[in-house]
Copies of this chain bind each other. A is one copy, B any other.
Amino acid sequence: MKIIIDAMGGDNAPVAPVCAGARAARELNIDIVLVGKEEVIKEELKKYDYPKDKLEIVNATEVISNHEEPAKAVRAKKDASVVVAAKLLRDNMGDAMLSMGNTGALLTAGLLIVGRIKGILRPALGTVIPAKKGAVMLLDMGANTNCRPKNLVQFAVMGSIYMKNVLGIKNPSVGLLSNGEEEGKGDELTKATYPMLKTAPINFYGNVEGRDVMNGNVDVIVCDGFVGNVVLKTIEGMGSYIGSAIKDIFTANMLTKLGALLTLKGVKALRRKMDYREYGGAPLLGVKKPVIKGHGASDEKAVYSAIIQAKKTVETNICEDIRLSLMSMKNEEERK
C-alpha cells in the first residue's frame, strides 16, 4: 500500500508531514510518497531514520497557501504539491492521499482530478467529533453550501459506510440535523430529505437537534455544508471559550493552582478525549480514491494518526463500498 502525502500543506509543514511520513514508513509497513519541494523535503528527512526503499519524494515546485482562492489556485498552479499529489492518486501511483493544506484546494483537486464515484452528485467532507458517546461523524462540514435532499441522502450512505468500515461501528445510526425532533420540523431542505432517508439503505434514526451533536445517540449526523461548518466551528469556539475560562480559574492563586494539580489527571484525560488529533483527519467521501483532509494545525502526531486512518480507508475498501451502495440504490430506484 502506498500513501501520498502533501508535504507542503498545513501550519507545521514541512516538519510535521515529513516527520510523520518517515515514522509511518518505519512503523506501519507501508510505502510513503512525500510530494513537495524536493530540496526542502530532503533536508528535513535528514533528521529521521526510515527505510529508504519505503519512502520516495515527488518534486512539486509550487505551494497553494491558505489564503488563495481554491478553484483558481488549483487551475493556475499545475505544479502545486496538492495538485501533483492528486494526479499521482488518479494515475494509480498511490492508494490514498492526505493534505493538511488549503481545504478548498484539496476539495477542488479531489473533485476535478481524482474525480467523483459514478452516481455521487457531490462529495462531502466528514468530520469525526469526539462526543459523549464516542465518535460521531458530522457531514457535510463545508464542501457544499447549498444542498438538495438527494445530496443529504448520499451523505448519509457515505457516512454510514465510513463509520462501519473505519471505526468498526455495526449498523451505524444516522440523524438528520434539524430544529426539532418531530418529523414535521425543519427547513425546506430537511423536510424534503426526511422521507427519503426513511427509505434509504441506512439505519435512519430521525431528526436530531444541535444538542445531540455532543450528547446524542446517533453515529452519523447529516446536514448541508453551511450548517455543518457553522456547527463545527461553534463547538470549537465553545470548547476554546470554556477551556480558557477553566485555565483562568485554575491559575487565579496558589490555592486554585493546588486544586488544579489535584484534578490534573482528569483534566488532561478530558483534553485528550476532545483532541481532534486522536481522530485523524476529515475524509472527502464520494471521490474515487481515499482523500483525507488533515487539520491545518496538525502536528507530527496528528499527521501520523491521519496516515493510519488513510491506511484503514484503503484496507476497508471505502470507495468500492460506496460505489456498490450507489449502484444498488440506483437499481432499486429503477425497479420501482
Chain A interfacial positions (CB closer than 8 Å to B): 131-132, 142, 145-146, 177-180, 186-188, 190, 209-216, 223-227, 229-242, 245-246, 248-250, 252, 255-256, 258-263, 266-267, 269-270
Q: Are A211 and B226 in contact (CB under 8 A)?
A: no
Q: Are A214 and B238 in contact (CB under 8 A)?
A: yes
In the complex, chain B residues whose CB is within 8 Å of the CB of A246? 246, 270
How many whole Å from A107's CB to the nearest CB in chain B?
Answer: 13
Q: Are B213 and A234 in contact (CB under 8 A)?
A: yes
How many whole Å from A223's CB to the nearest CB in chain B?
Answer: 8
A-B contact pairs, 26 of them (CB 8 A): A132-B241, A142-B179, A145-B186, A145-B188, A146-B187, A179-B225, A179-B226, A179-B229, A209-B229, A210-B232, A210-B234, A210-B235, A210-B236, A212-B237, A214-B237, A230-B231, A231-B231, A234-B235, A234-B238, A245-B270, A249-B267, A249-B270, A252-B266, A256-B263, A259-B260, A260-B263
Q: Are A237 and B259 in contact (CB under 8 A)?
A: no
Q: Using A225-B179, A233-B211 as known contacts, say yes or no to A187 and B263 having CB atoms under 8 A apart.
A: no
CA distance A226 to B266 in the complex (A): 36
Query: In this complex, what residue of B is CB-closest to A132?
Result: B241
How many whole Å from A224's CB to the nearest CB in chain B?
Answer: 7
Contact among B214, B241, B266 with A214 in the assembled complex (CB-CB below 8 Å):
B241
